[in-house]
Amino acid sequence: MDLSTLPLVGPFVAAALHAGADLLAALTAGLTPVAGPLAAALAVVVATLAVRALLVPLAVLQVRAERDRRRLAPQLAALRKRHGRDTARLQQAVQELYTSEHVSPLAGCLPVLAQAPVVSLVYALFTHASIAGAANTLLDATLVGIPLGHSFVAVVTSPLWVHGWVVLLVLVALAVVVELTRRANLRWNPPTPVDTAVPGAAVTTAVTRWVPFVTVVFAAIAPLAAALYVLTSAGWTAGERAVLRRALR
């Protein structure tokens, strides 16, 4: 479904697409003298860094919330022991604790939620054949011979498969960053021991282990431009958290 054609949100989506296309085109033009054929891909990276820089205040809130949850960990463990398997009562007690300590359990989601519209915009910019009634020139942009509008799946199932190593390299780099970030998160916030007697506990543990890699799957089926955004953003997150966790310890 093309949201830009819907009566209520269409004009806003169309305006966002137009503005996004103009921004990336201007960045590409400015970077071409120094980056040559890599300018368009570099423009996506630069735009990503700019977005993440704007979201630093939300990242600070996120790390502070993580710090507060670490501080409250003994009390949370006591609540789990006290209420056992009474899930409803446990959730109420945890919420009361968070409220009394002025800790927001949603603070950790803010950077992800704030980026969702940006990722959607990058995805749309490299999947629309036309923007504002004109041909989408962003679709002509390439990275080492691969159009930025092509996904890894599209590349390996087309004559461009010989260049598939480029997108594969992006996906591998993303998987490495995701795993390093996951391990850093575990060191900073050790997981609560799981009661194996609880039905579904093993499944929950397995899902938690692999959920971070959903971004790699998304990057494989999304346009290469969106994959570059996700990789750049993931790398920023890893470095940003390392710095903020030291500063806000």
pLDDT tens for 4-57 read 554 545 678 788 898 999 999 999 999 999 999 999 999 999 999 999 999 999
Structural contact between residues 226 and 216, judged by C-beta atoms closer than 8 angstroms: no
Query: What pLDDT is stored for residue 2 in this prediction?
Result: 53
Give the residue among 237, 249, 247 at the shortest CA–CA distance from 59.
Answer: 237
H or E element that contains 19: helix 10-35
Q: Provide the mean pLDDT of the chain.
A: 86
Under DSSP, the state recorded for 202 is: H
Query: What pLDDT is stored for residue 25 in this prediction?
Result: 94
- Rounded CA-CA distance 173/175 in Å is 5
pLDDT tens column, 133-181: 888 999 999 999 899 999 999 999 998 888 899 999 999 999 999 999 9
- Rounded CA-CA distance 91/39 in Å is 50
Residue 1 pLDDT > 50: no
Structural contact between residues 181 and 241, judged by C-beta atoms closer than 8 angstroms: yes
Check residues 83 and 135 and name the one with the higher pLDDT.
135
How many helices (H) and strands (E) the chain has is answered by 11, 4
Residue 194: which pLDDT band, with cuts at 50, 70 and 90? low
In this prediction, residues 209-213 reach a mean pLDDT of 86
Residue that is written with structure tokens 């970030």 in the block:
181
Domains in the chain: boundaries? 3-247
Residue 201: which pLDDT band, with cuts at 50, 70 and 90? low
Structure tokens at 63: 């790390």
SS3 label, residue 109: helix
What percent of the chain is modeled with pLDDT above 70? 89
Residue 62 pLDDT > 90: no
Give the residue among 209, 152, 212, 207 at the shortest CA–CA distance from 178.
Answer: 212
